[in-house]
Amino acid sequence: MAVQEVLVYPDPRLKENCAPIDNFDDTVGRLLNDLVDTMVDAGHSVGIAAPQIGDLRRAAVVDVSKSKLGKKQDNHGLMQMVNPVIIEREGMNIVREGCMSVPDYTGNVTRAEVIVVEYLDENEQLQVVRCEGFEAVAVQHELDHLDGFLFLDRVSSLKSDLFRRKQK
């Protein structure tokens, strides 16, 4: 249970397809706790996936409830997801995304407006959750990491849809 270093592109582990978690043992609980701790420590993050901390198992956490975009709509608070799968998608929208693993850029990405995601939670209970708006975008972004995709892979034009972040 500790804050972990976040891998930054072009680290090759970010492009790996993650393995399903078949044995829900103590290491899974520690992984989920590390993900939550790392997300919270970042201060601005609404999600993180296991490969971003170098663990190539299918786990991610999302919590948009403290974000100004997440507070504007209903959301599910902290979701700790093991072996998540999107089972339904509705509508499409272009949204601006950023990522802790690509800290210098944001980009326009096409995402489903509404999704239904199925996963095991931190108590190994099956959850089926309908997410909309910003929460749906965050879940899709984190699940992409589990398949070795970064938002950079979803940007239709690197010339017109990728933006350098303002340096503080």
User: Which CATH number does the domain housing residue 46 bear?
Assistant: 3.90.45.10
Whether 98 maps to a domain, the answer reads yes
Residue 158's pLDDT is 84
97 DSSP β-pair partners: 107
Residue 5 lies in a domain: no
In a domain? residue 1 = no
Residue 2 lies in a domain: no
Three-state SS at 116: strand
Which residues span the domain enclosing 151? 12-164
| Coil/strand/helix, residue 40 | helix
Q: How many domains does the chain have?
A: 1
Active site residues: 142
Pairing between β-strand 79-99 and β-strand 126-132 as defined by DSSP bridges: unpaired
Predicted confidence at residue 156, as pLDDT, reads 86
Task: Answer whether residue 41 is part of any domain.
Answer: yes
Predicted local distance difference test score (pLDDT) of residue 85: 98
From the list 103, 91, 105, the residue with the least C-alpha distance to 140 is 91
Provide the pLDDT for residue 74: 84
* Low pLDDT (below 50) residues in the chain: none
Q: Please give the pLDDT value at position 68.
A: 79
Domain annotation covers residue 3: no
Q: Is residue 132 one of the residues assigned to a domain?
A: yes
Sign of CA dihedral 126, 130, 135, 137: positive
Nearest to 145 by CA among 21, 5, 24, 7: 7
